[in-house]
Amino acid sequence: MNFAGRALYYWDRLFYYLSFLVSTATRFVVGMGFYLTGKGKFEHLDGVAEFFKSLNIPHPELQANLVAHLEYYGGIAIMAGVLTRFFASGLAVSMIVALMTTEREDTINAFRYLLNYSVPEDFSKVPTDITAFAYLALLAWLIFFGAGVLSVDYWAGRWIRQKLGITQGDTPTLDLTPREKISA
C-alpha cells in the first residue's frame, strides 16, 4: 500500500476509534439542555400550566408536571447514559408536541420555504431557530444509535448479554478491531 493509502487508512481508523466521543457529547448536550429546562419548569410550574392551558393542551397541570419530570430526570438519565433510548423516546414525543403547538407557525413556515426552494426578499422572516426540531433530530439519533460506549446502557447491556450467553454474532455490538492488518 502506498503512502496516500496508508495515510487514508490511519485517518479513517483515528475517527473510528474516536467515534464514541460523538455519542457522549450528544448525550451531554441534549441531557444538559433538558435538565435545565426541566429545572426551570419545576421552579415555575404554575406558569407552565397556565401556558399549556393557553395552548388548549388537555389537563395542563398534569401535563406541566409530567413534562417537568420527564425533562429534569430524563436529562439526568441521558447524560449518564441510563435508559437512554427510553427517555429519548419520551422526550422526542414532547418535542413533537412542542413543534405542533408552541412552534407550529415557525415549523410550517420553515417547511414552506424548504419545499419551495426559494429565498424570500426579507430573509429575516425565515424561521431558522426551531430549537425543538434540533432537539428532535438529536433525540432520534440517540434512539437509533444508542448511548455509546461511555454509558451505563452499554456496559449493563454487555454484562446482561454475557450472563445470558448471547454471543457477539447474535446482537450488534461495537467492534474496535481493525478490519485488516497493514504490513510495515
pLDDT, tens digit, 9 for 90 and up, residues 71-99: 999 999 999 999 999 999 999 999 988 88
> Is 1 part of a structural domain of the chain?
no
C-alpha to C-alpha distance for 175 and 184, rounded to whole angstroms: 23
> Is 169 part of a structural domain of the chain?
no
Phi/psi at 19 (nearest 5 deg)?
-65, -25
Q: Which of 68, 56, 64 is nearest to 104 (CA)?
A: 56
How many structural domains does the chain have? Answer: 1
Residue 63 structural domain: 21-152
Q: Which of 60, 22, 17, 20 is nearest to 41 (CA)?
A: 60
pLDDT at 113 over 90: no
> Is 56 part of a structural domain of the chain?
yes
Highest mean pLDDT pick, 1-5, 95-99, 108-112: 95-99
Q: What is the mean pLDDT of residues 109-118?
A: 69
pLDDT, tens digit, 9 for 90 and up, residues 21-62: 988 999 999 999 999 999 999 999 999 999 999 988 899 999
